[in-house]
Amino acid sequence: MSLPLLILLVGPTAVGKTGIAIQLAEQLPSGGEIVSADSRLFYRGMDIGTAKPSLAERARVPHHLIDVADPDETWSLAMFQQAAREAIADIHARGKLPFLVGGAGQYVRAVTEGWSPPEVKANSKMRDEIGKLVLSKVEGMNEERGKEWLHDKLKSLDPEAAEKIDARNVRRTIRALEVILTTGRKFSGQRGQVKSPYRLATIGLTRPRAELYARVDARIESMFAAGLVEEVRGLLAKGYSPELPSMSGIGYRECVGVVNGQVTADQAKVQMRHDTRVFVRRQANWFKEGDPSIRWFVVQKNTAREILNFIQKQIDF
């Protein structure tokens, strides 16, 4: 019995994954549905800063795993993995073709490669000890320097894990250190892996780097024009702490500074442009253009049609 087909659509932020995925899902004779592999889209009320597909776009094609949690809820990798697989199974059961769409490598791989996240329960005492260690080492330093020191510690213990975790993502950095210190083994080596439950057709979208950066800059400008600062102000007014993991994403952390009068909107935009470029380079570590398992397409006018032909061949295989 052949494995069910799963279309995986990957690529850097702002490359155009959402638009292409919707076109493809609409044009398939059997119809397609989109399962989001972007952890930023989990949270209700966080729409502008995440470039979340609009309600009109979601009306055109069903989307899954969007608006499934409040900003103060935590969705672990294991929770996402289970929910994504359930959504994919449901789509298959209804005779539709699922598209797993995103640029977050760890979330995509967890589903497609059958990862088993490390079975180490959260240890509040361990996390408190890590926090005390950081404070003792960075006394008198600013918050950003403290994050860098913590990430450097992870790099010394597990360079591979550090390469995949953003230094500004303190929650994931602490989780990796927690697993390492609890088990005595590298975090990167504890992701159990089994054979993929799907027949994968992996599509990568790319653009010339200068063009991609121009799209990033335009997206940031459109976010501010659409009311990103007001969105952040509203979240803070509802009592959501700026320290929440959901509020640490690019755009939100900078606009917290705008709301609090610490930086100007122009300064926030500069920081967002810088951080997004770093993020784009980090995404490239997960999905490399030389990877033979990925069929890459440079996004142009007729790209959706070319990809549709590629997908039809996978369906007919």
Confidence at residue 288, expressed as pLDDT on a 0 to 100 scale: 83
pLDDT band for position 28 (cuts 50, 70, 90):
very high
- Residue 297: the pLDDT is 96
Question: Lowest-pLDDT range, 3-12, 73-82, 148-157, 219-228?
Answer: 148-157
**What's the pLDDT at 305?**
93
- Split at pLDDT 50, 70, 90, the class of 128 is low
pLDDT digits (tens, 9 = 90+) for 292-315: 899 999 999 899 999 999 999 999
Long-range CB pairs of 206-215 (<8 Å, 24+ gap) are 206/11, 206/12, 206/15, 206/289, 206/296, 206/297, 206/298, 206/299, 207/15, 207/16, 207/298, 207/299, 208/298, 212/12, 212/14, 212/15, 212/280, 213/273, 213/277, 213/280, 215/14, 215/15, 215/16
Cβ neighbours of 69 (radius 10 Å): 16
Q: Say what the pLDDT of residue 149 is.
A: 73
Domains of the chain: 5-117+193-316 (3.40.50.300), 124-190 (1.10.20.140)
- Residue 150's pLDDT band, with cuts at 50, 70 and 90, is confident
25 has a pLDDT exceeding 90: yes
Instruction: Determine the pLDDT at residue 190.
Output: 60
For residue 280, the tally of other CB atoms under 10 A from its CB is 19
Place 174 in a pLDDT band, splitting at 50, 70 and 90. Answer: confident
Q: Quick one: pLDDT at residue 1? A: 60
Give the residue with greater pLDDT, 100 vs 286: 100
pLDDT score at 130: 62
Q: Please classify residue 14 by burial: count the beta carbons closer than 10 Å to its beta carbon, then call 0-12 exposed, 13-18 middle and 19+ buried.
A: buried
Instruction: Return the structure tokens found at 12.
Output: 């850097």
In angstroms, how far is the first alpha carbon of the chain from the final one? 13
Q: What is the mean pLDDT of residues 132-140?
A: 52
Q: Is the pLDDT of residue 82 over 70?
A: yes
Q: Which of 13, 23, 12 is nearest to 311 (CA)?
A: 23
Q: Which residue has the tokens 């253009």?
A: 289
CA distance 11 to 284: 8
* Alpha carbon distance 317, 311 (integer Å): 10
Which range among 92-101, 142-151, 207-216 shows the weakest confidence by mean pLDDT?
142-151
217: how many CB neighbours lie within 10 A of its CB? Answer: 16
Give CA separation, 38 vs 95, 101, 172, 176, 181, in Å.
24, 8, 16, 20, 29
Q: 106 pLDDT band (50/70/90 cuts)? A: confident
User: What are residue 294's DSSP bridge partners?
Assistant: 202
pLDDT (average), residues 85-101: 97
DSSP string, 120-180: ----HHHHHHHHHHHHHHSTTS-HHHHHHHHHHHHHHH-HHHHHHS-TT-HHHHHHHHHHH
pLDDT at 64 over 90: yes
| pTM for this predicted structure | 0.79
Q: What pLDDT, on the 0 to 100 scale, is given for residue 307?
A: 96
